[in-house]
Amino acid sequence: MKKTIFFYKLILIFIFFPVLMFSQNKESIAIIGIDTKGVMFDNISMENLLRLEVEKTNKYEVFDKYDVNNILKTNGFDPLDCFGKTKLLEVGNLLKVNKILTGNIDKFGEKIIFTLRMIDVKNQTIENTNVMEYLDLEREIQTMARISVNNMLGITNDALLVDLLINYEQMISSPKTTVKLNGPRMGASYIYGSASERLRAPESEGGFDMYPITSIFGFQYERQYLSSGEFQALVEFVPALSGLESGNFIPSLSLMNGFRFNKKGWEIGLGPIFRGIKYAKGYYDSNQIWIKTDSVIDSNYTLTRRIDRDGKLELSTGLIIAIGKTFKSGYLNIPMNIYFVPKKDNNTIGFIFGFNIAKRSIKRY
């Protein structure tokens, strides 16, 4: 029986002796000199919050706040006015602690900034500094305190929790990080296919008597919705007119989702294109002569629809795919693009270019 009791005592010694030795070897720390500005916690409340988070880590023997206040007041120190390295070192020697945790918690714009400093009292040095910029979410300020304390003490934080609270810097928007290419556009296009034959047909046959290559004049409007410095995503609106050199008036509107690489100037875009085209119904007789009509009595003939100068103006839709590059000379931007519009009865390929000058926007208040 005595041997059994001795054995249990030996086990308890082996279990609790390392724990006791560890607690005796823990360094002491005092949390003091915490300054707050613009947040809902005052200096004392933030000190208590940080003291709680340090105690949770079980890495230090945290000096009790009442002991700190009593010792400081007894020796003529105001606990609410202990800032600066020199005074904090005096306080640390007076309290006989190994470390002092101090810092600032400030609300700046849309950020809450935690700046914590660990002072080594014996070596009279600032051992570590940690600065964290959080989103302005004051209800989560205790979680922010925990993250900052863990960073100071080398404890790994939950990465997802950090991502939810951290304030990531937005890219600076300037002529060097964003390109705005609003401005006039001009160029030429070539249409080939059956529709092209109708456009080039003489007016006596219901054609437009156009040249194979037609001019384009328009204006580009764009709206940026994403920018990461070198990459820019935007929506482009390009109303244009073509066929003017042939005495025709063919309106079009292109709506493209564009992706631009600002540094090298390359750009790609695609989206719908809308054109106003005149169409007429009819059929080809046995001599291949076009007869314009809205209905066919003879079943040997098939009613079809074709481009016709004397037809009704209709909305024609298609897909436009464009690629280009912007050349720069100082603040002058010169975008050049080639584009392709595929369709069943015709395809269009074209070249268009323009220019604009990057202007500095001035906000008036």
Q: What is the pLDDT of residue 81?
A: 86
CA distances 189 to 32, 46, 216, 249, Å, are 75, 69, 7, 15
* Token pair of 31 as six digits: 């949390």
CATH architecture of 183-357: Beta Barrel (2.40)
Tell which CATH classification among 3.40.50.10070, 3.50.50.60, 3.40.50.2300, 3.20.20.70 matches the domain 19-165.
Answer: 3.40.50.10070
Domain with CATH 3.40.50.10070 in the chain: 19-165
Per-residue pLDDT tens over the stretch 92-141:
999 999 999 999 999 988 899 999 999 999 999 999 999 999 999 999 99
Predicted local confidence at residue 218, as pLDDT: 94
Residue 225 pLDDT: 82
Taking a C-beta distance cutoff of 8 angstroms, is the pair 113, 106 a contact?
yes
What's the pLDDT score for residue 49? 94
CB 337 within 8 A of CB 355: no
Give the separation between CA 279 and CA 260, rounded to whole angstroms.
37
Residues of the chain with pLDDT under 70: 1-24, 167-179, 228-229, 358-365
Domain with CATH 2.40.160 in the chain: 183-357
Q: Which amino acid is at 247?
A: G
Q: What is the pLDDT of residue 235?
A: 92
Residue 273: predicted pLDDT: 94
Q: What is the pLDDT of residue 228?
A: 65
